[in-house]
Structure 1
Amino acid sequence: MSDTIRPVTLPDLPLTGGCSCGKVRYAIGGVPQAFYLCHCTECQRHTSSAFGMSLRVDPATVTVTGEMKTISRTSDSGATRYGDFCPECGVRIQHRSKDDPGRLNIKAGTLDDTAWLIPAGHIWVSSKQAYVVIGEDELAYPQQPEDKAEAIKARWRAMLEAGRTQTS
């Protein structure tokens, strides 16, 4: 991996989004902690796509209107994970962990504006689809980088800073 940092220009807060039918809406009032792509088979399955897009945020900065339904599952590590979705149209809005209530991942494809998103890293690349190409300048981890999650957050902060510098 090279040290190339791609600038990210964060739109004005709050960031807004919601489900397809509009019955669930949310607003994120704080700067996201990271944006990354997950290539695990679980994300592939629940997105019906090659990967899941996760925008890590502080749950205290998120306001949700409308009711969501929750499903739970046990991850490979034994942790209980929750997925919250619109009961009307089925769009998954967020996922979280019982063991880490300070961690919330908004499913970034539900944002009203996704044009500014550039991933700071990729996780679970050991199960990525063969046609997905990850650049040499991108952070990539074979599985869940619990001990290296700070590297993705640090890269995201550098990307945001580069975006601020570029627009100044």
Structure 2
Amino acid sequence: MSTRTASCSCGQLQAHVSTEPLRVSVCHCLACQRRTGSVFGAQARFDKAAVSISGTSSEFVRVGDEGGKATFRFCPNCGATVYYTMSGREDAVAIPVGAFADPSFPAPTFSVYEERMHSWVRMPDGIEHMG
């Protein structure tokens, strides 16, 4: 596999990955809807050792429904989130799929917070569903 690069809108902050994602998921929680400005968030999780970051980021820490913390890193210039980490999963880095701007990126295999999913959204056949 060749290296993939995720980038903010202005290109200043980048995440470079050298492996396939461990998992690609979709989250329908209201916080992801607000963060992305869309009706869900789509993210790919990678082994931390396979990710290198270039550029400067600002941070926002969000506490989830069950108390876990997610630290989002975004570009201080354009505001786009490029990657985030989660407490309890220090060995992984999550990157929004859209930051890769690659229509051939692997499809999601896992969907969460579906009780908050917009009624018109349909997930791919065979995806694993979790509340």
TM-score by length of 2: 0.92
Letter in 2 for 1:102: D
Task: Please identify the structure whose Cα radius of gyration is greater.
Answer: 1
1:129 aligns with 2:118: yes
Selected match of 1:73 from 26, 42, 62: 62
Task: Return the structure number with greater helix share.
Answer: 1
Conservation of the 8 A alpha-carbon contact between 2:111 and 2:129: yes
May I ask how many residue pairs the two structures share in their alignment?
Answer: 131
Distance in 1 (CA, whole Å) between partners of 2:8 and 2:77 is 9
Q: Give the aligned partner of residue 36 of structure 2.
A: 47
Kindly report the root-mean-square deviation, in angstroms, between the aligned alpha carbons of the 2 structures. Answer: 1.4
Deviations 1:119-143 (A, max 9, x none): 112111111111102355321111x
Look up the match of 1:110. Answer: 99
**CA drift at 1:107:** 0.8
Kindly report structure 1 stretches of 4+ aligned residues shifted beyond 3 Å.
none
Identity %: 26
Give the secondary-structure state (helix, strand or coil) at the position aligned to 2:60.
Answer: strand
Q: Distance in 2 between matches of 1:135 and 1:29?
A: 26
Note the 1:135-146 alignment, pairs <5 A.
Answer: 135-142=124-131
**How far did 1:115 drift?**
2.3
Match of 1:155 in 2: none
Q: Secondary structure of 1:100's partner? A: coil
Cα distance in 2, alignment partners of residues 135 and 117 from structure 1: 12
- Counterpart of 1:48, as a letter, is G
Q: Is 1:24 equivalent to 2:9 in the alignment?
A: no
Counterpart amino acid of residue 33 in structure 2: Q
AA of the residue aligned to 2:104: A
Give the residue type in structure 2 aligned to 1:128.
M
Retained in 2: the 8 A contact 1:108–1:114? no
Output the TM-score relative to the length of structure 1.
0.73
